[in-house]
């Protein structure tokens, strides 16, 4: 199978000349083959951490949309580029220039009426992160780069006086170039909700009657080379993140050299196992390109779970599990909207009534849930961070909120009045990389942080206006620490990391690891949490599983079982206040509920909860246990309540 832990950039091309132009920048290439037959060459971009998977997909928006979804699901790239040639539409943009798409227009949308054609424009914006990297990377270079919109249609434009040329000039007159794949790529990336995508085009002709002559003169080759050089310059200015979407590993197989495919007999099983989730998502994204949004309703209708049961207590393999398909929770009203990017964190204030959320839009928001049927935003978004907010947590009294960001900072906010949050001190520093998780101790006197610098850190918060860094950073993980949690008596901490490890720690100065890592996970551990009484520890991983341990003796943890059923990475796990239910959220867009005890593995409860249209990154129960809240890559927050 393809190794999805590598920092991967996918580059799509339509033509062989484009593929060859990118290929010259890669070293140490190997061939990877998807079970469907789709092939990529994956190589290294020298002097960077990036692995680049290169594919030639042919022309057209439908192919672009379908294969963007397939390669995203298969290879889990952090970024995706479409690199190729295009026809220029502006007199001041010359052959050989490069156009970086700020947005792409679908030029064929509209309605034909007796009064004439009525345009119904569709547009997709490029990734802000990649566009900013491109502006920085291409400034002052020999490449003439233009940051402009691009028009996209399933047509080769070789007549500047044609009806389609006049249509573009009249309705999309800021478009600098025309090509045939961009809307498929952009729409598929948008529907995924987590994929950063950018389209880079070299101008090979002027989209007029001289197109064939320009092509014969070698303009395509030079334009492709310039576009490829621009894409490599951009990628060199983008740093891989430590955490990201990890797809189901059984989607395809990888190989080197000649690219040996997966044995034919394995293919039907792979397809059958993945149809309940991934093929439905692929079909939805593909159909979505053509605006058939009714497919969303049809394809997300609750279906049979991909796995019929979760693993139970090994000592009682015959024990029946509750697999009843009743709906035990339902959405409570429409989703909460306000964030403009992925929602990575949600947290209830002790006592309930107020919710906090953190997002990739670099803000924290507060929500009034005093009447859960009519939630409303409180005040204005809290800005100040310069990168994604990954974690938010209230102190036990509910008067202080800590948030953590990819900008390496942790902030403490006075939220006694959430309508007027105020910084209590300067940002808490100490970590030297993105901070992915923060947790207050039950007493509120300690704050723990886990970071991409591979360390845990503790701060004393006895006086929140003057937080004190406790000792040295604690090391034990060999990669980013993605989640931290305190036990009920704050004598023990748990952590999960990109090194696939779950660890227990004595809360000391500095914290000290207890024994060896808890074994079992085969991918990043995105979330760890203790049960309210501290007897259980649950972890969620990119390997699609949830593991449950009894940790009453932290030196000798006992594995109770493994829960399967999610079709993609498990990004978040949370116990109900009574400790009897565990909720999990996944990149498969669903939330699942599990019954937990101190003598057996998690048992599924009811059907998966559907409603989000992107990865679910965070779930939390209300203090009274009656509500569940979830935050997603679809930029929304949803409330759920029990129906049984």
Tens digits of per-residue pLDDT, 209-232?
Answer: 666 676 667 788 999 999 999 999
Choice between 52 and 288, residue whose per-residue pLDDT is larger: 52
Grade residue 116 by pLDDT with cuts at 50, 70 and 90: low
- Enumerate the H helices of 154-218 as residue ranges: 163-171, 182-192, 211-216
Average pLDDT score over residue span 539-560? 96
How does pLDDT run across 342-382, given as a tens digit for each residue?
999 999 999 889 999 999 999 999 999 999 999 999 999 99
> For the whole prediction, is pTM greater than 0.85?
no
What number of other Cβ atoms are within 10 A of residue 370's Cβ? 10
pLDDT value of residue 158: 58
Q: Over the chain, what is the mean pLDDT?
A: 84
pLDDT band at 309 (very low <50, low <70, confident <90, very high): very low
Distance in angstroms (rounded) separating the CA atoms of residues 522 and 545? 9
Inter-CA distances, 579 with 107, 345, 438, Å:
54, 21, 21
Q: How far apart are CA 521 and CA 501, in angstroms?
A: 7
- Does the structure show a pLDDT above 50 at 278? no
Looking at residue 67, what is its pLDDT? 92
How far apart, in whole angstroms, are the C-alpha atoms of residue 533 and residue 528? 15
pLDDT tops 50 at residue 433:
yes
Mean pLDDT value of segment 421-446: 93
Q: Is the pLDDT of residue 539 over 80?
A: yes
Q: b vs e for 52-90, b when ≥16 Cβ sit within 10 Å of the residue's Cβ?
A: bbbbbbeeebebbbbbbbbbbbbbbbbbbbbbbbbbbbb
Burial class (CB in 10 A: 0-12, 13-18, 19+), 111: exposed
Whether residue 247 has pLDDT greater than 50: no
**Percent of the chain, pLDDT > 70?**
80
Give the number of other Cβ atoms within 10 Å of residue 38's Cβ: 16
The proportion of the chain whose per-residue pLDDT surpasses 90, expressed as a percent, equals 62
Among candidates 427, 344, 420, 437, which has minimal Cα distance to 384? Answer: 427
Q: Is the pLDDT of residue 183 over 70?
A: yes
Domain assignments of the chain as residue spans, ordered by start: 8-254, 329-642
In the prediction, which pLDDT does 194 show?
79
User: Mean per-residue pLDDT for 253-267?
Assistant: 38
Give the integer Cα–Cα distance in Å for 562 and 568: 15
The Cα-based distances of 321 to 188, 326, 431, 578 in angstroms read 38, 14, 44, 20
What's the average model confidence in pLDDT over 513-533? 95
pLDDT digit string, tens, across residues 448-499:
999 999 999 999 999 999 999 988 899 999 999 999 999 999 999 999 999 9
Evaluate whether the domain defined by 329-642 bears CATH number 2.130.10.10: yes
246 pLDDT band, cuts 50/70/90, is very low
pLDDT-derived band at 263 (thresholds 50, 70, 90) equals very low
Nearest Cα to 18, choosing from 101, 84, 99, 87? Answer: 84
Comparing 267-276, 393-402, 630-639, the range with the smallest average pLDDT is 267-276
Neighbour order of strands in the sheet with 558-563: 525-530, 536-541, 546-550, 558-563
pLDDT tens-digit profile of 615-624? 999 999 999 9
pLDDT for the residue 300:
33
> Cβ neighbours of residue 251 under 8 Å, at least 6 residues apart?
1, 34, 35, 73, 74, 270, 274, 278
Residue 218: what pLDDT?
76
Ramachandran class of 329: left when φ > 0, alpha when ψ lies in -120 to 50, beta otherwise: beta
Question: Does domain 8-254 fall into CATH 3.40.50.1580?
Answer: yes
Q: What is the mean pLDDT of residues 386-403?
A: 96
Report the pLDDT averaged over residues 433-439: 96
Q: Are strands 422-423 and 110-113 parallel, antiparallel or unpaired?
A: unpaired
Count the helix, strand and coil residues of the chain and give each as a percent rounded to the nearest 5.
15, 40, 45
């Amino acid at each position: 199978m393809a190794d999805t832990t590598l920092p991967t950039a996918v580059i799509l091309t339509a033509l062989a000349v484009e593929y060859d132009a990118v290929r010259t920048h890669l070293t140490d290439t190997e061939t990877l083959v998807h079970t469907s037959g789709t092939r990529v060459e994956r190589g290294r971009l020298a002097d960077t951490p990036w692995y680049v998977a290169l594919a030639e997909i042919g022309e057209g928006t439908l192919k672009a949309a379908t294969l963007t979804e397939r390669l995203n699901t298969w290879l889990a790239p952090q970024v995706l580029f479409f690199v190729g040639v295009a026809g220029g539409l502006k007199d001041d943009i010359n052959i050989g220039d490069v156009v970086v798409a700020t947005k792409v227009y679908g030029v064929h949308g509209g309605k034909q009426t007796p009064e004439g054609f009525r345009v119904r424009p569709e547009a997709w914006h490029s990734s802000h992160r990649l566009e900013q990297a491109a502006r920085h990377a291409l400034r002052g270079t020999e490449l003439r780069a233009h940051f402009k919109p691009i028009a996209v249609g399933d047509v080769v434009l070789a007549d500047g006086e044609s009806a389609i040329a006049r249509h573009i000039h009249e309705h999309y007159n800021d478009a600098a170039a025309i090509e045939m794949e961009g809307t498929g790529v952009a729409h598929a990336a948008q529907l995924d909700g987590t994929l950063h995508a950018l389209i880079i085009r070299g101008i090979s002709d002027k989209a007029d009657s001289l197109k064939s002559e320009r092509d014969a003169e070698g303009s395509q080759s030079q334009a492709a080379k310039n576009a490829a050089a621009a894409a490599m310059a951009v990628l060199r200015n983008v740093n891989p993140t430590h955490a990201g979407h990890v797809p189901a590993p059984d989607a395809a197989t990888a190989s080197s050299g000649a690219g040996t495919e997966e044995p034919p007999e394995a293919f039907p099983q792979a397809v059958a196992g993945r149809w309940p989730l991934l093929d439905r998502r692929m079909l939805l994204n593909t159909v979505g390109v053509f605006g058939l949004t009714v497919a969303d309703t049809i394809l997300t209708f609750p279906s049979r779970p991909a796995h019929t049961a979760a693993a139970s207590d090994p000592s009682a393999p015959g024990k029946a599990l509750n697999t009843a398909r009743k709906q035990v929770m339902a959405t409570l009203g429409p989703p909460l909207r306000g964030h403009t990017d992925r929602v990575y964190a949600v947290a209830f204030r002790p006592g309930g009534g107020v919710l906090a959320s953190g997002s990739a839009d670099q803000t924290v928001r507060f929500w009034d849930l005093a009447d859960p049927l009519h939630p409303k935003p409180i005040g204005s978004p809290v800005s100040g961070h310069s990168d994604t907010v990954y974690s938010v947590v209230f102190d036990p009294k509910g008067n202080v909120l800590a948030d953590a960001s990819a900008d390496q900072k942790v902030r403490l906010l006075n939220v006694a009045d959430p309508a007027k949050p105020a910084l209590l001190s300067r940002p808490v520093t100490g970590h030297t990389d993105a901070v992915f998780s923060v947790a207050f101790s039950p007493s509120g006197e300690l704050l723990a942080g886990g970071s991409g610098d591979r360390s845990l850190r503790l701060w004393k918060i006895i006086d929140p206006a003057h937080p004190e860094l406790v000792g040295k950073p604690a090391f034990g993980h060999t990669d980013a620490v993605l989640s931290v949690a305190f036990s009920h008596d704050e004598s023990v901490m748990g952590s999960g990391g990109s090194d696939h490890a779950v660890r227990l720690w004595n809360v000391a100065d500095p914290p000290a690891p207890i024994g060896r890592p808890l074994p079992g996970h085969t991918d990043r551990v995105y979330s760890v949490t203790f049960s309210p009484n501290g007897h259980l520890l649950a972890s969620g991983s990119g390997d699609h599983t949830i593991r449950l341990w009894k940790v009453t003796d932290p030196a000798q943890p006992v594995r109770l079982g493994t829960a399967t059923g999610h079709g993609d990475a498990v990004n978040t796990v949370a116990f109900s206040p009574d400790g009897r239910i565990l909720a999990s959220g996944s990149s498969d867009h669903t939330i699942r509920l599990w019954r937990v005890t101190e003598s057996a593995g998690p048992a599924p409860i009811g059907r998966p909860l559907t409603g989000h249209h992107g990865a679910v990154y965070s779930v939390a129960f209300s203090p009274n246990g009656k509500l569940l809240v979830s935050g997603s890559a679809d930029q929304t927050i949803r409330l759920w309540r029990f129906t049984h």
